[in-house]
A and B are shown apart, each in its own frame.
Chain A
Amino acid sequence: DAGVIQSPRHEVTEMGQEVTLRCKPISGHDYLFWYRQTMMRGLELLIYFNNNVPIDDSGMPEDRFSAKMPNASFSTLKIQPSEPRDSAVYFCASSKTGGAPNEQFFGPGTRLTVL
């Protein structure tokens, strides 16, 4: 079975450019999570969805960040405009909860560098 798929795996862009990160969760999973990982701040939850609906976006750092989940098999995280401090590894994870917290399966991550 395919795991969580993220694209691109690496992205290098210049400050001010728009960046779109993509995620395909595991089929049948009802929760999708977006995380950011840096050396300074560790792994931070940005937003999570339940059945394609955003539930908690309190971790989104500012209005430059937005996330969507138009259907059960696709989600995007967009940064516009990007800044050098956005450089990090962005992970997407999905989970089949059955009503209670359960294992989250992480994608391989997108390593973003903003120059």
Chain B
Amino acid sequence: RKEVEQDPGPFNVPEGATVAFNCTYSNSASQSFFWYRQDCRKEPKLLMSVYSSGNEDGRFTAQLNRASQYISLLIRDSKLSDSATYLCVVYTGGFKTIFGAGTRLFVKA
């Protein structure tokens, strides 16, 4: 079993749709979690941090469920510009980072 798993997709949704991604992790001692976005042939960039209390930034909401060991990302009112690959990141010990394989999202007009 991989330490961090994501549904690779692709998710194909129309503009305006709500879409949700999940990411599961295996190490219960993991402390810090993030979502990154990566556009085609570009470097990953931070989208948002994930806290136990939840985190909302405009149309984006991130949640952490420690009991079930997963994090989620919800995108409301999808835009064409949201088309990208979304990577979850887990810090397993110290500053060692493990990236999920990514979930590809296509938003179509």
Listed in ascending order, the chain A residues whose CB lies under 8 Å from chain B are: 31, 33, 35, 42-45, 48, 50, 55-56, 58, 91, 95, 97, 100-101, 103-104, 106-109
Contact = CB atoms under 8 A, between A and B. Distances in A.
Interface residues of B, number: 19
Interface of A is mostly: strand
A55 B99 contact: no
Interface of B: 31-32, 34, 42-46, 87, 91, 94-102
Contacts of B101: 42
Contact of A97 (B31, B45, B95, B96): B95
Contacts of A44: 99
A104 B96 contact: no
B95 A106 contact: no
B96 A45 contact: yes
